[in-house]
Chains A and B, each alone.
Chain A
């Protein structure tokens, strides 16, 4: 610490213009929250099939990868994009295991240029995603889901330990 003082902060506002503008149109009370929760539930019901479609797209994207050798950045980015979307909406649509699996996959893809040995780890993630939707493993997936998630995390940690 040098003991020097940082410059004096200046404050602007706060502006109440937005609050005034919203007054006649937007209310933040219990009735509004109930309407929001109803809209959310309607959305979830209407989009139950999205996870299956997205999981199929993820699997199809992975199938284009070479069985061995290096994976192009474009191919890795395409898989990341699909996993990123599943991560964002999995839990919302009733599949927290999808969010957890895709979070792990995104971090794995984000952290490295893929070596041939990494493809096996990516495949474990893709298989897990497909399994979760085909077996309709909602919530934490019960004993099977929890066990598979532990195995997946162990496999990732083991691979990372090899580097």
Chain B
């Protein structure tokens, strides 16, 4: 039987999480899983395997939300390395945006967010999914949003940050094998 797409919100600030949850339910996502720390969120990710992850970079418990993003993109550790990840943060420093992008986040939502901003980020990941790029130094959504020809040059404007735990060695071959294996098991979104 078909079911609505599920979302997890991981944010130590409960009121912000409540607001995000209210909006997600109004839009029709179900269930909307609420988690108020990185540790709790990590456990629920594994158990409930949500279709979308929304997390604050300061998600509580003394852990950086970027670690969670990297773990989600780690084929050996993640329930779905392709899961859409929207990071939220009150830090709007450009370095944080780059760090979130380099960790493999799909979208960035600066706090305080507006209803339109959260609506647009969700629409991006659901309606306009991007392909994933596999490079030795990066695994994540294609950063290019247009469809201009691309012949393999790395066109990123900033160097990729190291992504500990993302095993994409051998130009991504092992990683691709893992993905294909999961796909054959029906274990990918």
A123 to chain B, nearest CB (A): 22
A106 to chain B, nearest CB (A): 8
Count, chain A residues at interface, CB 8 A:
45
Q: How far is the CA of A38 from the CA of B25 in the complex (A)?
A: 13
8 Å CB interface, B11-66 against A = 13, 15-16, 18-19, 22-23, 26-30, 51-52, 58
B83 to chain A, nearest CB (A): 9
Chain B hits for A142, CB < 8 A: none
- Selected from B5, B23, B150, the residue in CB contact (under 8 A) with A18 is B5
Q: B126 on the interface (CB 8 Å rule)?
A: yes
Q: A9 on the interface (CB 8 Å rule)?
A: yes
8 Å CB interface, A2-21 against B = 5-19, 21
Could you say which of A88-96, A111-119, A132-140, A144-152 contacts chain B?
A: A88-96
A50 to chain B, nearest CB (A): 6
Chain A hits for B122, CB < 8 A: 28
Chain A hits for B142, CB < 8 A: 11
Interface size range of chain B in the complex: 35 or more
Query: B125 — nearest CB in chain A belongs to which residue?
Result: A18
Query: A47 — nearest CB in chain B belongs to which residue?
Result: B15
Please judge, given known A-B contacts A15-B188, A33-B116, A103-B90, whether A85 and B82 are in contact too, CB under 8 Å: no
Q: How far is the CA of A40 from the CA of B119 in the complex (A)?
A: 11
Q: How far is the CA of A8 from the CA of B173 in the complex (A)?
A: 12
Q: Which residues of A contact B (CB under 8 A)?
A: 5-19, 21-22, 24-28, 32-33, 35-40, 42-43, 47, 50, 84-85, 87-92, 99, 103, 106
**What are 19 A-B contacts with C-beta separation under 8 Å?**
A8-B152, A8-B171, A9-B152, A13-B82, A13-B129, A17-B188, A18-B125, A18-B126, A21-B5, A25-B28, A26-B28, A28-B127, A32-B26, A35-B27, A43-B22, A85-B13, A85-B16, A87-B111, A89-B19
